[in-house]
Amino acid sequence: MPGVYFNHLNFNQSQFEFAYRTGSKLLELVNDRRFYDKVRLGIYTGRKFRLDGRRVQYIQADNNRIIYQIFNGKEWGKEPDGNINLLLRLGPANGIGYVNPPNPLITTDPNFFNRCMDRNRPVSLASHWLHEWMHVSGFRHASSNPDFNDVVYKVGDYLREVARLKAKEEGEPDSYINSIADEYLEFRKDHANTVGPDYDI
């Protein structure tokens, strides 16, 4: 099962502390067997994946490829090291954030970050980071029209589903369970038309 590590460029102390908590939450959720099972059995539409190599070559990834990339911590162009490595910064973004593959730097809009922090919603931030890391790993959107059943979106959906299951098991109130990732879903809906083929909200 993968570890989760992050490096940041410009977080202040309170942002760093929330990012650390978010990383811990991401680690907990991706290592929940139910997340593995959901990803393994997932039904995806867009499966565009860029193979390592100097020549740009895309394939339609099968579920085994999706599992391999996540659970071996395989970033594009690097050997798998068993870790989801997040290189993070806060910066201007039209929406939640973006990444420009193959550059692994994930930019998160500070408005979105601070909203998640103020509302104590690490699952929303974790969903965004995992989504962007899937791009860093090699997955792409099939087109500029958002398809919320493609790999990078569905993996984030599965993460949130497991978060809700765990919150229910821990006796959290329904109001918390139902709103566990509202910030991400709200921002995603508001900025759905800004999605590009190789970067994303």
| The one-letter amino acid at 163 | A
Measured at the CA of 160, the angle between CA 168 and CA 51, to 5 degrees, comes to: 150
- The pLDDT of residue 133: 97
- The pLDDT of residue 191: 62
**Is residue 195 over pLDDT 80?**
no
3-state secondary structure of 22: helix
C-beta separation of 106 from 4 below 8 A: no
pLDDT band at 198 (very low <50, low <70, confident <90, very high): very low
Buried b (16+ CB within 10 A) or exposed e, 168-193: eeeeeeeeeeeebbebbbebbeebee
**Is residue 192 over pLDDT 70?**
no
Omega within 30 of 0 (cis) for the link into 102: yes
Q: At what angle are helices 33-40 and 151-169 packed, to 10 degrees?
A: 150
Q: Is 114 exposed, middle or buried (0-12, 13-18, 19+ CB in 10 A)?
A: middle
Q: What is the DSSP letter of 6?
A: E
Classify strands 3-8 and 83-90 as parallel, antiparallel or unpaired.
parallel
C-beta separation of 72 from 80 below 8 A: yes
C-beta separation of 2 from 83 below 8 A: yes
pLDDT band at 8 (very low <50, low <70, confident <90, very high): very high
pLDDT band at 176 (very low <50, low <70, confident <90, very high): confident
Q: Where are the alpha helices (DSSP H) in 72-121?
A: 110-118
pLDDT band at 146 (very low <50, low <70, confident <90, very high): confident
- The pLDDT of residue 201: 33
pLDDT band at 194 (very low <50, low <70, confident <90, very high): low
**Is residue 73 over pLDDT 60?**
yes
Q: Region 186-196: what's the mean pLDDT?
A: 66
Q: Region 182-192: what's the mean pLDDT?
A: 77
C-beta separation of 108 from 116 below 8 A: no
Q: Region 168-176: what's the mean pLDDT?
A: 92
**Is residue 165 over pLDDT 50?**
yes
